[in-house]
Amino acid sequence: MKLFIDTANVNEIREAHSWGIICGVTTNPSLIAKEGRDFKEVVNEICSIVDGPISAEVISLKAEGMIEEAKDLAKIHKNIVIKIPMTAEGLKAVSVLSKEGIKTNVTLIFSAAQALLAAKAGATYVSPFVGRLDDIGQNGIELIKEIVQIFKNYPDIKTEIIAASIRHPIHVIEAAKAGAHIATVPFKVLEQMTKHALTDVGIERFLKDWEKVPKKS
């Protein structure tokens, strides 16, 4: 499974990239707003750090506006993927953009039916939101399993599944077990994934024992 980072913070992106574990970035309007910087400037900087798919989201609600925004954003860098919300207008836009070779990530997916439609429209990626489903008492990982099964049944579907709205390491592991192609993970969760109490205890014990090793100089 590939890992993307779900943030617009360039310091977090630089740090995670230096670990050699991420190959893409997803942003959304809320994440961009947190940075208090110009949208295109941030996206440009992200593209200079990670050489992989960088999702940037449109804000228009009509297909025409989405397409216009998408074409403008796609000019920023060859790696830009246009994030489009899962609506009928969004599907129209995805259908046009995919025929023009512009990659899309259909976001705010909360059902297998939505994922199937997005794939049929030509989406490069679909982003089912695991955490937000869990928040309302539905099982987000079950949705990932359903979409994986459907896409596997039809090998002509080339759309990749990005497990999104990830809240903790277990979500990442469950998404990987379910067969999601990608998980897009907040920096805090990536940090949590590096840690285990026994690792810390182990390091401490090794260092203590090392003090007992006779040193010549």
Catalytic residues: 83
Are 1 and 173 within 8 A, CB to CB?
no
Residue 39 is given by DSSP the state: H
Structure token pair of residue 63: 């297909």
CB of 59 to ligand E4P, least distance (A): 14
Q: Residue 1 carries which side chain, given as an amino acid letter? A: M
Binding site for ligand E4P (CB under 6 A): 6, 26, 28, 107, 127, 129, 131-132, 164-165, 184
Alpha-carbon separation of residue 66 from 70, 83, 101, 180 (angstroms):
6, 10, 15, 27
Task: Give the Cβ contact number of residue 189 at 10 Å.
Answer: 18
CB of 135 to ligand E4P, least distance (A): 8
Q: Rounded to an integer, what distance in angstroms lies between the CA atom of residue 196 and that of residue 203?
A: 11
The tokens 């940090």 sit on which residue? Answer: 191
Nearest residue (CB) to ligand E4P, 96 versus 164? 164
Q: Rounded to an integer, what distance in angstroms lies between the CA atom of residue 31 and that of residue 28?
A: 5
Kindly tell me the burial class for residue 174, based on how many C-beta atoms sit within 10 Å of its own C-beta (0-12, 13-18, 19 or more): buried
Q: Which residues are CB-neighbours of 111 under 8 A, at least 6 positions away?
A: 143
| Positive/negative CA dihedral, 108, 114, 119, 122 | negative
Element (H, E) at 185: strand 182-185
